[in-house]
């Protein structure tokens, strides 16, 4: 908003870009978005909401408390067994890393 206010005040776009550390094309995009929609909020990402990710985020904290010593593969299998949804071990690992507090120690399968 301060970037657009500076442009509206008559400052050159190049100067505003340097002051606020944004590119001139970004300023142009924001001006166009404001002109077309009335605000500069980004458009929502199209597509349906992530169903499995939401289920996994709700399920994981209790699962980790009860079974903190399982591997990612074992957590994945438990999720699929309990909720009937298949996810990858990578998805489980990313979901654990996103938990509040930086996630849990992640135990990988022995090779």
Instruction: Please check whether residue 26 lies inside any domain of the structure.
Output: yes
Instruction: Please check whether residue 84 lies inside any domain of the structure.
Output: yes
Q: Are residues 56 and 30 in the same domain?
A: no
* Number of structural domains in the chain: 2
pLDDT digits (tens, 9 = 90+) for 32-76: 999 998 888 887 888 887 888 889 999 999 998 898 888 999 999
pLDDT digits (tens, 9 = 90+) for 87-102: 999 999 889 888 887 6
Q: Are residues 55 and 93 in the same domain?
A: yes
Instruction: Please check whether residue 55 lies inside any domain of the structure.
Output: yes
Between vectors from CA 85 to CA 53 and to CA 71, what angle results, nearest 5°?
75
Q: Are residues 93 and 57 in the same domain?
A: yes
User: What's the predicted TM-score (pTM) here?
Assistant: 0.55
- The parent domain of residue 92 ranges over 51-97
Instruction: Please check whether residue 81 lies inside any domain of the structure.
Output: yes
């Amino acid at each position: 908003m301060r970037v657009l206010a500076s442009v509206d005040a008559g400052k050159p776009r190049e100067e505003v870009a340097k002051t606020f550390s944004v590119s001139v094309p970004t300023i142009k995009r924001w001006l166009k978005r404001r002109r077309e929609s009335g605000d500069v909020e980004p458009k929502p990402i199209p597509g349906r909401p992530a169903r499995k990710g939401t289920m996994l985020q709700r399920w994981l904290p209790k699962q980790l408390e009860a079974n903190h010593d399982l591997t990612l593969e074992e957590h994945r299998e438990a999720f699929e067994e309990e909720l009937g949804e298949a996810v990858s071990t990578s998805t489980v690992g990313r979901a654990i890393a996103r938990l509040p507090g930086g996630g849990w120690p992640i135990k990988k399968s022995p090779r």
